[in-house]
Chains A and B, each alone.
Chain A
Amino acid sequence: MTTTSTILVILFIILAPVIGGIISGGDRIISAKMQSRVGPPIVQPFYDVLKLMGKENLVVNRYHGDYMICFLIFTIVSGCLFFGGNNLLLVIFALIVAGVFLVLAAYCTNSPYALIGAERELLQMLAAEPMIILSAVGLYVVTGTFDVYGIANCQHIPIIYLPGVFIALTYVLTIKLRKSPFDLSTSHHAHQELVKGLTTEFAGPSLGLFEIAHWYETVLLLAMIFLFFGSYWILGIILAVIIYFIEILIDNINARIKWELMLISAWAVTLILGVGNLMILYFVFHI
């Protein structure tokens, strides 16, 4: 590891929860404004997590806490791999492993709501992951490397060659961020039973860990969007902000859908926009 990558990894570990928390707080304020409410202060997610950390930890299975810690660690590891400039495929696989630990944490509670939530989380992964891997492939086709720094330093802007892949990635981003209409496994709004799904049995500190891991995940996913702009990082940040605003808008104007529609639509988008984009690159532009 070079000095730059070490600094970036350390910055990610320290700053990602701060940025993720502020994004989440901003999300709540913008959502409130869209519903003509005032909304909480921007630091509200930090208050929530600090409160959750002080609450009694009700665990029904002794391994539950371990799974949650593994979920957090693997989310951080995948972020560190990304900002350390490693292979993009490795980053994606580490993120999937983190997701599996979350599903295990929900399964081990034996609650029917958590079980359904866990199964839906698996379906969400099934719907979203092909497109995320395909976006790594797309970036490889354009830049000739899976290396994160290699992609970030490439001379041209990958999004010009990969508009379809980018739109499809934005589509599955809604699934990864668990926003309506794809908040099947669990919703980040306070809800009950089936809607809360996965996190039904998470109480106090373990729900706090889930929130922190979600902040890391949000930053990592937005960083992947950012990667589509290569070395034009200002453009990347502006587009990442716009994309997140669109996600909030979609979250507020959509109702939850059934899992069949999520799976079919996500795969259709992956096939048509993702694979279609790569095929046009190959057959028409011979890249």
Chain B
Amino acid sequence: MGYFAKSPWLLHYDGSSCNGCDIEVLACLMPKYDVERFGIINTGNPKHADVFLITGGINTQNIDVVKNIYNQMGEPKVVVAVGTCATSGHFFSECYNIIGGVDKVIPVDVYAPGCAAKPEMIIDAVVKGLGILEEKKKKMSPK
């Protein structure tokens, strides 16, 4: 296991979520789940982050923001779509301003469905993302 799996730093962005998933993401950081046990830290800075957590669907206003944040993150990086809204748009998908899931804008590596996604699900999704992070790192190294 490489060092990326031992120290993934999260960046959490709220697309057009109802805040349900955001509260669950924050619950992961609280004493009950305490993801810092696994070296996971919630940073607010894309340049420091390895894992990009997005909650909520993509709308016409935040499409550029999401692309910008994604481009500012250094390789290797993993995108985790948290909640059904982020995976497909959920019941907002037919709204006039909703484009759909996060994968309409940037490549998503792990999908964590749920309304709201449970903390266990979010932790599981991030842990799955760590394997992908390591694979991406291996692909990076020969360069």
Q: Residues of A with Cβ closer than 8 Å to B?
A: 28, 32, 35-41, 44, 47-48, 50-51, 54-58, 190-193, 195-196, 199-204, 207
- Smallest CB-CB separation from B49: which chain A residue? A190
State which of B2, B31, B47 has its C-beta within 8 Å of the C-beta of A35.
Answer: B31
Known: A32-B36, A35-B31, A203-B74. A47 touches B7 (CB 8 A): yes
Q: How far is the CA of A191 from the CA of B140 in the complex (A)?
A: 27
**Is B4 a contact partner of A203 (Cβ separation < 8 A)?**
no
Known: A196-B44, A204-B74. A48 touches B36 (CB 8 A): no
In the bound complex, residues from chain B placing their C-beta under 8 Å from that of A195 are 44
**Is A201 a contact partner of B39 (Cβ separation < 8 A)?**
no
**Is B44 a contact partner of A202 (Cβ separation < 8 A)?**
no
**Is B39 a contact partner of A47 (Cβ separation < 8 A)?**
yes
Report the interface size for chain B: residues with CB under 8 A from the other chain: 26
Count of A-B contacts judged by CB separation below 8 Å? 83
* Residue B41 is within 8 A (CB to CB) of chain A in the complex: yes
**Is B45 a contact partner of A56 (Cβ separation < 8 A)?**
no
**Is A57 a contact partner of B34 (Cβ separation < 8 A)?**
no
Q: How far is the CA of A162 from the CA of B7 in the complex (A)?
A: 43
State which of B6, B37, B43, B74 has its C-beta within 8 Å of the C-beta of A38.
Answer: B37
Question: Min CB distance, B54 to chain A, in Å?
Answer: 16
**Is B45 a contact partner of A196 (Cβ separation < 8 A)?**
yes
**Is A56 a contact partner of B75 (Cβ separation < 8 A)?**
yes
Q: How far is the CA of A56 from the CA of B47 in the complex (A)?
A: 10
Interface centre among B6, B47, B72, B76 (most CB of A within 10 A): B47
In the bound complex, residues from chain A placing their C-beta under 8 Å from that of B31 are 35-37
Question: Min CB distance, B141 to chain A, in Å?
Answer: 8
In the bound complex, residues from chain B placing their C-beta under 8 Å from that of A203 are 47-48, 74
Which 8 residue pairs across A and B have the least CB separation, nearest first?
Answer: A192-B44, A56-B74, A190-B43, A203-B47, A190-B41, A47-B6, A50-B3, A51-B3
